[in-house]
Amino acid sequence: MRVLQFFRSPTFALFSISAWVISFLVIAGSQAHNNVGYLILFIPVLLSLQLKEINKLLEHPLARMLVVVIFSLILSACIGDGSPWKQAKFGAVVLLFYLAVARLPLLLDETVYKAAWALLGLLITYVIFNAILQYAQGSWTLGSRLGELYAKLENVIYVTNTMGGMMAIITLLGIRAKRYREVLIAHILVLFFALTILQTRSIIGIWALITLLASLSLYRQQLINRKLMVSLTSVGLVLIMMIIGLIFFTSIGDSLLTRKFYRFEIWGGFIAETLRCGAWLGCGPEHEFIFIAQDQLPIMHPHSAFVTQFYKAGIIGFIPLVMLTVWAIIRGLKAQSWAAWYFMVGALGLCFDGSSLFHSTSQRWLLFHLPLALLIAQELHCPAKTAAT
């Protein structure tokens, strides 16, 4: 049928994936967003799915490792708290997403560069729109931290990390094309909005990671010379001084520094609960536990996607997820893949925030499943290169 052939085409894959990403900035409410995702992405893939597509995806070692991670959650649900059928359903949705992304054509660097700039522009517009909206409602003033945002991409940390992912792509591809001014503009824009309006500390670590990767890339490609090195170092020092000034001499700095960092306390509480349930298979995907912090703040989830995996599926689920993450980064770095740079930013962000990665579609998918699926999809177009790495 022509309709099914169209659903399998790279053209439809480009449309559906792009629309799905943009929906995070437009659709509010989890159920409404899920419905849109099923309509434009998951159902078309399911209706047009072919066995050879599944076999091709599973030929990739990262996809096979992903299946192991999903299976560990199903096994944990069988032993602990949770429904194995529900976890199997979530796992099937995740795999459908990877199959949808695998239908994308081989993306040229210039196309990806323009797409990254376009999404970064949409994210900045989204932040400005929410700032204006919250200011009009009297819930936000200039100098304070922006509250929960309107659409599905609602958490300021995830907005920052997604912007960081686009900055990573622009940095790598901009260096290749010697568009250094555009790269610096991207860095300045992301740092400005992340520190002054979103007021997230995670951007500092992300920026440090991207700067390190950029330095290594310049050295590897032998693009660095004395004049360029002096110019980039000077700009970097200026940005660092501006960040220091912002943190220590403004009210924004007070907001960034005075907010408590609960992560280690939270992780300790959830790890202790996991050990109580059983270290090997954890507490189960649906185990209910509320950690009470020292100041009596109730914490509903571990605030780390990786600690969450240990809590839900124990050592048997945690080790494959870590192996998948590290393996993807190593492969991507060897290939100098833009998707790997995006994935590294997402993985770093999810170390310090996030819940389960294997659930219905959420903000976390933009930082883990999307870049990992893009990495796998692009490698599937280059089987010789994939085998070599």
Query: pLDDT of 278-337, one tens digit each?
Result: 999 999 999 989 888 777 778 888 999 999 999 999 999 999 999 999 999 999 999 999
Contacts with 227 (C-beta within 8 Å, 6 or more apart), sequence order = none
Q: 16 and 41 in contact (C-beta within 8 Å)?
A: yes
CB 194 within 8 A of CB 242: no
8 A C-beta contact, residue 17 and residue 100: yes
State how far Cα 32 lies from the chain centre: 21
How far is 108 from 203, CA to CA, in rounded Å? 28
The predicted model scores a pTM of: 0.93
pLDDT (mean) for 111-118: 97
Q: What mean pLDDT is predicted for residues 41-60?
A: 95
What pLDDT sits at residue 389?
42
Task: Confirm if 375 and 332 have CB atoms less than 8 A apart.
Answer: yes
Question: What span, in angstroms and rounded, lies between the C-alpha atoms of 191 and 200?
Answer: 10
Cα–Cα dist 322/196, whole Å:
33
Q: Per the structure block, which two tokens stand in for 254? A: 């007070």
DSSP code at position 313: H
The β-bridge relationship of strands 291-292 and 298-299 is: antiparallel
Distance separating alpha carbons of residues 259 and 203, to the nearest angstrom: 15
- Judged against a pLDDT cut of 90, whether residue 227 lies above it is answered with no
As a whole number of angstroms, the distance between CA 164 and CA 315 comes to 30
What is the pLDDT, as a whole number, of residue 388?
A: 42
The separation between CA 289 and the C-alpha centre of its own chain, rounded to angstroms, equals: 25
Confidence category of residue 386, pLDDT binned at 50, 70, 90: very low
Give residue 77's pLDDT.
Answer: 95
Whether 353 and 299 have beta carbons less than 8 Å apart is answered as no
Residue 252 has a CB neighbour count (10 Å cut-off) of 18
The residue with tokens 């500390």 is 201
Distance CA 249, CA 256 (A): 12
Q: What is the pLDDT of residue 34?
A: 93
Per residue in 257-272, pLDDT tens?
767 777 889 999 999 9
Residue 179: strand pairing partners: none
Q: b/e map of 137-160 (b: 16 or more CB within 10 Å)?
A: eeebeeeeebeebebbbbbbbbbb
Q: 384 pLDDT band (50/70/90 cuts)? A: very low
Q: Do 150 and 129 form a contact (C-beta atoms < 8 A)?
A: yes
| pLDDT score for 383 | 59
* pLDDT value for 224: 65
Distance spanning both ends of the chain, measured CA to CA:
38
Lowest mean pLDDT: which of 96-105, 157-166, 167-176, 213-222?
213-222
Please give the single-letter amino acid code of residue 220. R
Query: In this predicted structure, what is the pLDDT of residue 230?
Result: 67
Please report, for residues 56, 58, 99, the alpha-carbon distance to residue 51 in angstroms, rounded to integers and kept in the order given: 9, 11, 11
pLDDT tens, position by position, 130-172: 999 999 999 998 888 999 999 999 999 999 999 999 999 999 9
**Helix (H), strand (E) counts: the chain:** 18, 2
Report CA 239 to chain centroid distance, whole Å: 25
